[in-house]
Amino acid sequence: MAGKGGANPATYSPSPTIQKKKAPLFKEDWVRPDGRGFHQCRPAFFRTGAVNAASGSAYAEFGNTKVIVSVFGPRESKKAMMYSDTGRLNCNVSFTTFATPVRGQGSDHKEYTAMLHKALEGAIILESFPKTTVDVFALVLESSGSDLPVVISCASLALADAGIMMYDLVASVSVSCVSKNLVIDPIFEEENYQDGSLMITCMPSRYEITQLTVTGEWSTPKINEGMQLCLDACAKLAKIMRSCLKEAASDSKE
Amino acid sequence: MGLPNASDDLSSEMEVDAFRRLFPLRFFERHLAESIRPDGRPLGKARDTSVFLGAVASANGSALAKIGSTTMLTAIKMEVMTPSLESPDEGCIAIDFHMPPICSPIVRPGRPAEAAPVISKQLFDTISSSGLVNLKELSLVNGKAAWMAYLDVYCLDADGALFDAALLSAVSALSHLQIPAVAINDDGKIVLMSEEDGQKQAQEQVNKEKRKLTLKSIPFSLTCILHKNYILADPTAEEESIMETLVTIVLDSSGQLISLYKPGGSVLAHTSALQDCVALTRQRVKELKSILDEQNSVMEIEQD
Amino acid sequence: MVGLSLGEQHFIQGGIAQDLRCDGRKRLAYRPISVETGVIPQANGSARVRMGATDVIASVKAELGKPSLLQPNKGKVSIYIDCSSTAEPAFEGRGGDELSAELSTALQRCLLGGKSGAGAGIDLSSLVVIDGKICWDLYIDGLVVFSDGNLLDALGAAIKAALSNTGIPRVHVAAGASSDEKPEIDVSDEEFLQFDTSAVPVIITLTKVGKHYIVDATSEEESQMSSAVSISVNRQRCICGITKRGGAGLDPSIILDMISVAQHVSEQLINKLDSEIASAEAGDDDES
């Protein structure tokens, strides 16, 4: 029996005998692999209080994308930090080794970490916890497309669960441009063949965008269409998140 | 946290809370004298335990185990390797225990928890020495190909008795594990067989059907705290931080001792105390075994 | 960090509100841009771009590699930015790492298009030597020499200039090589292929200070921003990428307005850059 680390031999995961047909998948009259309409999101499931050890936490499940976010604090900032009369936000996003179809290293995701930080920082009232730090840690249990938007929405719910003051909940949705169609809430296969993507993070009640990224070539009308799709979906998502919070609050009262 | 003698009066509740934070040891000892713990359990009773099999859809085997609020998620991914020269007819299991920053306030990104490598090693030692898995069952082609089972345990919520929960979720995932059906292709590589893939007779089928491992003598464990003359089974994180002497006993399903850890601590254990711990563990093993058996039979019914 | 007194802060904000900035520019005017090409002889292409005091260098290195399985008919491009610790005291030690990573991802997003490779500023299929077997890998490295704001736009311009300065050696493939063996190739050291850089977009960062937004902000002006949106626009006025910086939320209609302003400004910037690049290249040729 092999020990862990070090001397493990090289391994590979067996591939299926029939290679999936790639190109025909996204021809003109294609249907999405999971049978959704182009403008239809995956069913979203949220639950707060997933981790008891944290001050606040939330679990989110969009199709096969599953995420847990824990919030710790406000707690003492690191010793090396200088005095600050506003609070600090510290984020981290990591993946499990089994999150992706091929076993990964389970390491931190620097890009997502930075994006999560930017998406949330505009929504949190940092003045409400001076000199201290709020830590937002996310773990992607299973990754199956649109990971970052799910992490962001789940993190804002965890912040609410921890009682951190925010201007509004933050909801995030992305659309992919796949062979001339805009598809909302793309799954892994669609993201791999996308020509472009647009992700919006917004505070729906304030109607403000906190984070926006676009890749690929977009004409002006298409950007308008994509943004509108995302904003509408964000508003719907925020309703689901809000009802999840209300449910949790009424449960604890009983 | 329902305190047994707390009245509804808010001021007295505040006092109890303050007392608990300021004098944790005396707070606990007052409870222990009454043979009850702050969460209402008798000393020898473990917390509610549940197991859910197949929690990770993309893995070959997975399980979620909860003991109280301590939560562990295990997934097993099967990959193919060339077996070593010393044991050409055996596969491998690589076990890793992770404590991501979400699980506890003491773990921070970039600074891994001290407990993680210790538990990793304990899990590996326990599972390999118990003879739970026959590594020959993981062989595919003698000397050419064998399975490497990557078993990763993630702690999602840390509230004491981490090893017990990790072991429970690891053995549950192994009992849920299905080895995929594979064949060898012309290049000598192992490829997956899909079910509708009947015409591929040219390929040599190595493993015709999905199958499960035959697990014998499943190990289960119980961690106890020794404090003065008291023995507290299945401690929470708070109890572990106040009273430091821990004893972990691993027994297999037939009640034989697999391993016993007592990593130091201020209390020197009498033989009789250890025997009491073993007796508690023996009861606990029965409980855990029935929980796991029940889940496995539920899975079989769902599959039929 | 720029340390500004309250009075200075008001002066900057007030100037922007009145369309007259500290250095006399209007809100949508650039600082003088100068382009120098071929500054690093051992690279396949390089350029140095100065926008006011901001000073950046970009280099392109081409190496033969293997295309990825998902896109066998496309080459690979990677972009990495380094913030030199001489550029600003804050970049010392690991202080520049975060900014370097942010700039690298923003540039990748703006220049490389979607995952399928569509919409990329660089025609990736022109980098393929043999389908699925050999392609050119471009390594684009950027170095921030001195920072006085608007780094992303300057780096984008430097990369565009470096790419138009890049010559990729012509590769001859020995005919009749069997399909599974490694084909024989011969890299020419005389013949070079020039890149078509007309599709490479420019990046325009609109920095919002108060109610207005400005282009080409200096670091003093950047210290007063509430948020900034970087938009990359190509010659066809199509959007090739958007990155938002800064925490404050923005109304969607403001973002749409910013996009149309960026499209308008892009035309001037592209023309200006193209003529600078052309004259730099001409000067380069005269010297050699």
Domain ranges of chain B: 43-177+213-303
Interface test with C, best of A110, A217, A230 (most C CBs within 10 A): A217
Instruction: Say whether pLDDT at B82 is over 80.
Output: yes
DSSP A40-56: -PPPEEEEE---TTSSE
Percent of chain A with pLDDT over 90: 46
Domain ranges of chain C: 19-174+181-287
Mean per-residue pLDDT for B152-173? Answer: 94
Q: Does residue C240 belong to the interface with chain A, where contact is any CB pair within 8 Å?
A: yes
Please state which of the ranges A70-74, B191-195, C175-179 shows the lowest mean pLDDT: C175-179
What single-letter amino acid sits at B105? P
3-state secondary structure of A62: strand
Phi-psi region of C10 (alpha: psi -120 to 50; beta: other; left: phi over 0): alpha
Question: Which residues of chain A neighbour C250 with C-beta distances below 8 Å?
Answer: 208-209
pLDDT at position A133? 92
What would be the CATH architecture of the domain defined by C19-174+181-287? 2-Layer Sandwich (3.30)
Best mean pLDDT range from B6-20, B121-135, B177-191? B121-135
Q: Does residue C101 belong to the interface with chain A, where contact is any CB pair within 8 Å?
A: yes
State yes or no: cis peptide before C32, omega within 30 of 0: no
Question: Which residues of chain A neighbour C237 with C-beta distances below 8 Å?
Answer: 220
Q: Which two tokens stand for residue C140?
A: 């684009």
Inspect the interface and report whether the beta carbons of A213 and C263 lie closer than 8 Å: no
Q: Which residues pair with B146 in a beta bridge?
A: B81, B139
Q: Does residue B98 belong to the interface with chain A, where contact is any CB pair within 8 Å?
A: yes
Q: Are C67 and C56 in contact, with CB atoms under 8 Å apart?
A: no
Q: Which residues pair with B150 in a beta bridge?
A: B77, B94
Domains and their CATH numbers in chain A: 37-248 (3.30.230.70)
H or E, element range at B62:
strand B61-67
**Chains B and C lie in contact, requiring 3 or more CB pairs less than 8 Å apart:** no
Q: Are strands B92-98 and B145-157 parallel, antiparallel or unpaired?
A: parallel
- Domain topology for B43-177+213-303: Ribosomal Protein S5; domain 2 (3.30.230)
Residue of A14 and B115 predicted with greater confidence: B115
Q: Name the DSSP class of C288.
A: -
Mean per-residue pLDDT for B186-204? Answer: 61
Phi, psi values for residue C272, rounded to 5°: -60, -45
Helices (H), chain C: 6-17, 97-112, 151-164, 219-222, 252-287
Nearest to C164 by CA among C264, C77, C81, C47: C47
Q: Which segments of chain A are extended strands (E)?
A: 11-12, 15-16, 44-48, 56-62, 65-76, 88-95, 132-142, 171-178, 181-184, 196-203, 208-218
**Structure confidence by residue, pLDDT tens digits, A185-240:** 999 888 888 888 899 999 999 889 999 999 888 888 889 999 999 999 999 999 99
Instruction: Say whether pLDDT at A176 is over 80.
Output: yes
For B159, what's the count of Cα atoms within 13 Å in the CB-facing half-sphere? 18
Nearest to C153 by CA among C58, C12, C59: C58
Q: What is the ipTM of this complex?
A: 0.86
Mean per-residue pLDDT for B245-265? Answer: 88
**Structure confidence by residue, pLDDT tens digits, C222-246:** 888 888 899 998 888 888 889 888 7
Nearest to C230 by CA among C210, C219, C246: C246
The residue count of chain A comes to 254
Q: Does residue C105 belong to the interface with chain A, where contact is any CB pair within 8 Å?
A: yes
pLDDT at position A250? 87
Q: Does residue A197 belong to the interface with chain C, where contact is any CB pair within 8 Å?
A: yes
Question: Which residues of chain C neighbour A194 with C-beta distances below 8 Å?
Answer: 114-116
